[in-house]
Chains A and B, each alone.
Chain A
Amino acid sequence: MKPGPLYQRDRQWHPPALTPDYKTSVSRSPQYSMISLETTVSEITGPVFGHNDIDPIDKDLLSNYAKPGESPIGERIILHGRVLDENARPIPNTLVEIWQANAGGRYRHKKDTYLAPIDPNFGGCGRTISDADGYYHFRTVKPGAYPWRNWVNNWRPAHIHMSIFGTAFAQRLITQCYFEGDPLIAKCPIVNSIPDPQAVEQLTARLDLNATIPLDTIAYKFDIVVRGRRSILFENRPEGN
């Protein structure tokens, strides 16, 4: 038994390309059908990262941009969880990158002009590599909601953008992590690009009191699942012959 192609991606679980309530998708969504094929060696493989690529401080957004002795303003949180595949196997040694607005909802980006102030002690990005059991963790501040141009009055729920590699280029994924209890989740056209409410639940981090540091930092848990792989139990004949 050896690992084979990836499981087919469930396109009815992901958002479709065209989601008119998220207006930017209208001119950026391919209209022809994608060509479907089983993953080849070009997609079963993918980049490998090691601890030489990043530094331990990269995962601590409370300190990775702060001046010595200072820290960003906002609710101190730990964001932690595991990277798993659809077979519930942990994915070790995989790169997880995050970015987010500060506690006021402002991004450190030359294109963000929202009137909430830049926090001089907050960069807003972090990265880490999952451990041998697939665990990852970051320390940061809880991001603020922010307005965006779509309808006249749209506000993004608090969210952290996440980028995950897995071990295969076809597992490559970008998503957003939301926080339980946020009333803006249900009103967001980007969230609502996802058709299945259960899938939205999967993007909603839970408060995890067991992982908090008492009198210091509150914690949220967010597991990430990348595509699983078939086991080759029997060799089949090549396609088309």
Chain B
Amino acid sequence: MRQELNYLKETPSQTAGPYVHIGLAPGAAGFDIYRQELGWDIAGPNARGERIRVEGCVIDGMGSPIKDVLLEAWQANAEGIYAHPEHDGEVEEGFRGWGRVITDFDTGEWGFDTVKPGPVTNADGRVMAPHISLWIVARGINVGLQTRLYFEDEADANAADPVIGLIEWERRRQTLIARRSERDGKPVYRFDIKLQGQDETVFFDI
């Protein structure tokens, strides 16, 4: 008889459902239970680099903003270093690079404050343009969706980015570019995520 490989199977995903807030953001569900909720401060007080705000909506196939989404963000600091033991280099005290936000129950808008990440060098030596990885869960989403937010004002770096370069269609590449504006002197990047339609956001199987 042949030998067995004996790998385990990954636990299959299930939707986060409409009440994801209870577990991951109980204050939004309407009650206080933990000493502190996690993920509300991405960069911490000591992070160097440009302070920015990121905002958007997640829009369904009917063109309506989804009002029960939870998003998580993962990013490097301004020097392109991740707060993780496998990435060489130091991050500032208090910089986590991870955040968790929910959409407003009435408008579907989400937003977070952070610092703009720097370019990141991959294990193969290739440099990726500054980006924030996003993970999106909600009722009706069976497996969390992964995408990346890139920055409008990094056109040269984006043009050389090896991940954007995998996307054949120029129109689809544009779905990953956050648009920059200013509000009260502070940069704001707009990143709407469309789940369906001609301008469907690029999602990654990664």
A: residues with CB less than 8 A from B are 3-4, 9-11, 13-17, 19, 22, 24-32, 34-49, 53-55, 58, 64-65, 84-88, 95, 97-99, 107-112, 123-125, 127, 161, 163-164, 169-170, 172-176, 190-191, 193-194, 198-200, 202-203, 224-228, 238-239
Contact = CB atoms under 8 A, between A and B. Distances in A.
Contacts of B142: 14-17, 19, 22, 25, 29, 193
A73 B153 CA distance: 56
Interface stretch (B45-53, B80-88, B108-116): B80-88
A36 B202 CA distance: 11
Given A45-B84, A111-B18, A163 B11 contact: no
B55 interface: no
A46 B73 CA distance: 10
B22 A170 contact: no
Contacts of A13: 9-10, 12
Nearest to A23: B140
A86 B12 contact: no
Interface residues of B, number: 81
A203 B11 contact: yes
B23 A109 contact: no
B110 to A, nearest CB: 16
Nearest to B80: A41
What are the 7 tightest A-B residue pairs by CB atom distance, in nearest-first order?
A99-B23, A24-B140, A47-B98, A45-B84, A28-B140, A27-B61, A15-B142
Given A48-B83, A172-B144, A202-B9, A238 B31 contact: no
B22 A28 contact: no
A51 to B, nearest CB: 12
A87 B7 contact: yes
Contacts of B166: 35, 37
Contacts of B1: none
B120 A42 contact: yes
B24 A88 contact: no
B14 interface: yes
A110 B29 contact: yes
A190 B15 contact: yes
A99 B21 CA distance: 9
B122 to A, nearest CB: 5
B38 interface: yes
Chief secondary structure at chain A's binding surface: loop
B138 interface: yes
B86 A34 contact: no
Contacts of A30: 145, 195-196, 200-201, 203
B54 interface: no
Q: Which of A11, A25, A34 has the most CB of B within 10 A?
A: A34
Given A35-B202, A45-B86, A176-B14, A238 B126 contact: yes
Contacts of B143: 14-15, 17
B193 to A, nearest CB: 10
B196 A27 contact: yes
B74 A238 contact: no
Interface string B125-150: 11010010101011111111110100
A169 B133 contact: yes
B118 to A, nearest CB: 12
B196 A88 contact: no
B71 to A, nearest CB: 12
A175 B36 contact: no
Contact of A225 (B11, B66, B98, B141): B11
